[in-house]
Chains A and B, each alone.
Chain A
Amino acid sequence: MKTFRSLLAFGILALVWAGCAKEESFEGDAYTLELQFNPSANGEALVFNKEYVNPLGEDYSVRTFKFYVSRISLLQDQLQPSATDASGIFLVDASSEASKTIRVSLNGQPFNKLAFQLGVDSALNVSGAQTGALDPLNGMFWTWNSGYIMAKLEGNSTRSAQLNNTMTYHIGGFKGDERTQRWIVLDLPQLQEWTLEKNSITTMVIDADIDQWFSSTHDLPIGVHSENMTPGPLSVQYADNYANLFRIETVLRRQ
């Protein structure tokens, strides 16, 4: 009987240990993917308040550029994602070096595409106060019409008729045909296949070309639209455009 009791106690101890160990072991199985977002304009790294010319021939400069990245996934051809980071939501802010590098832990399946959602899941737009990247103090939450600004671009252009020639784009909207979340699916350079490995970090350097904001799927001249800060059809057009901003420049493996 004594043996039975000891066994019981040992068993319970083991259970307790296993229950706790689950959380601790998470890091050990991780295959780390790092995304480095590099905002650019006119083919060079973005410099704040420097004058650029958009594809429509209009001058512009940038003071603020921020966007949400979520649901980072790896794909093999057009199959279902082989790995998805469902919970991570990241705010990339061109003015913050740290925010431009995102790390997620995924699995070791082979892949040849990267996918992520630009924006915040609709459910998180209606679920009350959020924290972390979604904290309203990040200036990406509309207080008068609840919902997240998925991407924000602010700056100046002589084509803008606003006071001080400002241009202001706060793009959001998550309901029905006002949706501004966009899935970005990017091929790896030279269509190569890749596999994340344990004990090393795979880094993807991703160019975010602001020129595309004004003219890619739609031509949206600053001279016509220098401001847009509400959900609606125009926001949807900007969202169609920002879906074209991104391109993987390089993939590299680091120890």
Chain B
Amino acid sequence: MIKKDTISACFLKKPARLAAAVRWKNLMLSAALLAILALVVSMEACRKSDAAPAVRKLSLEVPAGFPPPEDLFKDNPITQEGFDLGKKLFYDGRLSKDGKFPCSSCHQQFAAFATFDHALSHGVKDQFTTRNAPGLFNLAWHRELHWDGGINHLEVQPLAPITAPNEMGETVEGVIAKLNSDSRYREMFRAAFGDETINSQRMLRAMAQFMGMMVSANAKFDQVKQGKASFTAAEQAGYAVFQAKCGSCHKEPLFTDLSYRNTGLTLDPGLRDAGRMRITNRREDSLKFKVPSLRNVEVTAPYGHDGRFFSLGAVVDHYRFGVVDGPTTDPLVKRRIGMSDNEKSDLVQFLKTLTDQSFLKDPRFAEPVE
């Protein structure tokens, strides 16, 4: 309902207070002011009675040279309160069935939010996942997520691990019930979204705010590009190798072109993972997986969709000697990539310049202390 009393107070008292002998010009000015005031008041008046508390707006940082991000936050403006809530959820084991597997159990900050030293990650009931956990950064530039691109929006991404029986093993209902029973969450949902309602949309939007804000673009590579640092001779030589032999798929500045490709990996007989074909049902997508970003690649070992390579050297050697030329193998790698041992060594040195220490230690993304 409209608060008519409040409105009359605003509009009838103020003009009365004005001096009686105002000039015509002044009157016009006050009329303009009144109109603005009226607009503000009318917007207030139409709102629901309990006014939403103020939120502190945050904006997504777009590093110099990056393309425009995906339009992920149109209906979900990023705020400090939403971000903080998303962070708490990301680090909260209650999102899993047995309480032991928060998102952060597989996405560790010091590993650029991949799982340190694990080809496959652990889920509830001592189960393994079926794919290598990817690092999480620059997600606002990804329209599709997962190695097979099955997820079409950052907001709905957490539903996959939360409900997968071999990952967090929970139900959406179960998570919402647990959050509802915690007064701290009710308070944080109110701060972020205006009232204490806890639902999956709000939960997922808060998580998207937290994950979407993770931007990594301050590696030595970036500093060299900005003239603030310089490559060693080996790194410089490695960059030349990279540009000639890797850069068309691992395209700068994201170090991925976000496409799906078969890099000539043989089918794992246990996992039998057909990759992109599972999503598109097209034979030509068999064994294709999303090109991973090489940013922070030094800390995200092991490598490949199933983590079959335990070192950067092993990955490079796959392209030199191991590519299997099958029906869908990418034309760019099907004849393998010729490279000397020296070039390989330089390339690995270059790849290490993509490690962004400030991101790995950024307190904004670290586990909240309460």
Contact among A1, A16, A17, A144 with B150 in the assembled complex (CB-CB below 8 Å): A144
The residue that B201 contacts in the complex, of A13, A23, A130, with Cβ under 8 A, is: A130
Which A residue sits closest to B47, measured CB to CB? A20
State the CA gap A232–B152 with chains docked (Å): 17
Contact yes or no, B27 A4, CB < 8 A: yes
Do residues A129 and B11 form an inter-chain contact, with CB atoms below 8 A? no
Whether B163 and A125, one on each chain, are in contact in the complex, defined by CB atoms closer than 8 angstroms, is no
Chain A residue contacts of B201, Cβ below 8 A? 129-131, 135
Q: Given the known A-B contacts A129-B204, A146-B152, are A137 and B173 also in contact in the complex, defined by CB atoms under 8 Å?
A: yes
Contact A143 B156 (CB under 8 A): yes
B72 in the interface (beta carbon within 8 A) = yes
- By a CB distance below 8 angstroms, the chain A residues around B278 are 145
Task: Determine the distance from Cα of A199 to Cα of B12 in the docked complex, in whole angstroms.
Answer: 40
Q: How far is the CA of A164 from the CA of B42 in the complex (A)?
A: 62
Within 8 A of B (CB), among A177-212: 178
What 0/1 readout, one digit per residue, does chain B (18-58) give for beta carbons within 8 Å of chain A?
Answer: 00001000010001001100100110011000000000000
Residue numbers in A under 8 Å from B45 (CB-CB): 16, 19-20
Contact check, B150 vs A145: say whether CB atoms are below 8 A apart: yes
Does B72 lie within 8 Å of A128, measured CB to CB?
yes
Query: Are A128 and B156 also in contact (CB < 8 A) when A15-B38, A19-B42, A146-B151 are?
Result: yes
Say whether B8 faces chain A, with CB atoms less than 8 Å apart: yes
- Residues 145-187 (chain B) with a chain A CB within 8 angstroms: 146, 150-156, 159-160, 162-164, 171-173, 176
Q: Chain B residues with Cβ under 8 A from A128's Cβ?
A: 72, 75-76, 153-156, 204-205, 208
Interface residues of A in 205-252 (CB under 8 A from B): 230-233
A36 vs B152: C-alpha distance when bound (angstroms): 34
Interface residues of B in 188-202 (CB under 8 A from A): 199-201
Task: Check A230 against B281 for contact (C-beta < 8 Å).
Answer: yes
Contact string against B for A residues 136-156, beta-carbon threshold 8 Å, 1 for contact and 0 otherwise: 110001011111000000000
Task: Verify B15–A146 contact, CB threshold 8 A.
Answer: no
**Nearest residue, chain A, Cβ from B162:** A143
CB <8 Å contact, A5 and B15:
yes
B2 at the interface (CB under 8 A from A): yes
On whether the beta carbons of A136 and B172 are closer than 8 Å, the reply is: yes
What separation, in Å, do the CA atoms of A178 and B172 have in the docked complex? 27
Residues in chain B near residue A15, CB distance under 8 A: 38, 42
The 0/1 profile, CB within 8 Å of B marked 1, for residues 118-138 of chain A is: 000000011111110001110
Report the bound CA distance from A131 to B279 in whole Å.
24
Residue of B nearest to A10 (CB): B11
In the complex, chain B residues whose CB is within 8 Å of the CB of A13: 7-8, 11
Instruction: Determine the distance from Cα of A233 to Cα of B154 in the docked complex, in whole angstroms.
Output: 27
Q: Is the CB of B42 within 8 A of A144?
A: no
A178 to B200, CA, bound (A): 27
Contact A131 B199, CB 8 Å, known A16-B2, A137-B173: yes
Contact of B156 among A17, A20, A141, A232 (CB under 8 A): A141
Chain A residue numbers with a CB within 8 Å of B163 are 143
Structural contact, B171 and A144, CB atoms closer than 8 A: no
Residue A56 is within 8 A (CB to CB) of chain B in the complex = no
Smallest Cβ distance from A105 to chain B, in angstroms? 21
Total residue contacts A-B, CB cutoff 8 A: 104
In the bound complex, do residue B42 and residue A16 qualify as a contact, i.e. CB atoms below 8 Å apart?
Answer: yes
CB of A126 within 8 A of CB of B152, answer yes
**CB-based contact B155/A129 at 8 Å:** yes
Least distance between B233 CB and chain A CB atoms (Å): 47
A8 CB-CB contact with B under 8 Å: yes
Residues of A within 8 A of B76 (CB): 128
CA distance A128 to B153 in the complex (A): 5
Question: Chain A: which residue is nearest B204 at the CB level?
Answer: A129
Contact status B154-A12, CB under 8 Å: no
- In the complex, the answer to whether A12 meets B11 with C-beta atoms within 8 Å is yes
CA–CA, A17 to B1, complex, Å?
A: 10
Inter-chain contacts of A144 with B (CB < 8 A): 146, 150-151, 160, 164
State A12–B15 Cα separation when bound (angstroms).
13
Residue of B nearest to A231 (CB): B281
Q: For B41, list chain A residues within 8 Å (CB).
A: 16
Q: Say yes or no: A20-B2 contact (C-beta < 8 A), given A8-B34, A12-B11, A146-B150.
A: yes
Q: Which of chain A's residues have a CB closer than 8 A to the CB of B31?
A: 8
Closest chain-B Cβ to A89's Cβ sits at a distance in Å of 14
Give the residues in chain B near A130, CB-CB below 8 Å.
201
Q: Which residue of B lies closest to A23 (CB)?
A: B46
B11, closest chain A residue (CB): A9
Q: In the docked arrangement, what's the CA distance between A193 and B250, Å?
A: 63
| Chain B hits for A143, CB < 8 A | 156, 159-160, 162-164
Q: Shortest beta-carbon distance, A13 to chain B, in Å?
A: 6
Complex alpha-carbon distance, A178 and B150, angstroms: 15
Docked complex Cα distance between A5 and B19 (Å): 13
Shortest Cβ gap from B368 to chain A (Å): 22
By the criterion CB–CB under 8 Å, are B12 and A9 in contact? Answer: yes
Residue of chain B at shortest CB distance from A126: B152
Note all chain A residues with C-beta closer than 8 A to B199: 131, 135
0/1 interface trace, chain B 261-301, chain A, CB 8 Å (1 if under) = 00000000000000000110100000000000000000000
User: Does the CB pair B152–A9 fall under 8 Å?
Assistant: no
Question: What is the CA–CA distance of A232 and B278 in the complex, to the nearest angstrom?
Answer: 10
- Which 3 A-B pairs rank lowest in CB-CB distance, beginning with the nearest? A128-B155, A129-B204, A137-B172
Known: A125-B152, A143-B163. 12 other contacts (CB 8 A): A1-B27, A5-B27, A8-B34, A20-B46, A127-B75, A128-B76, A128-B154, A128-B155, A136-B159, A137-B200, A145-B151, A146-B153
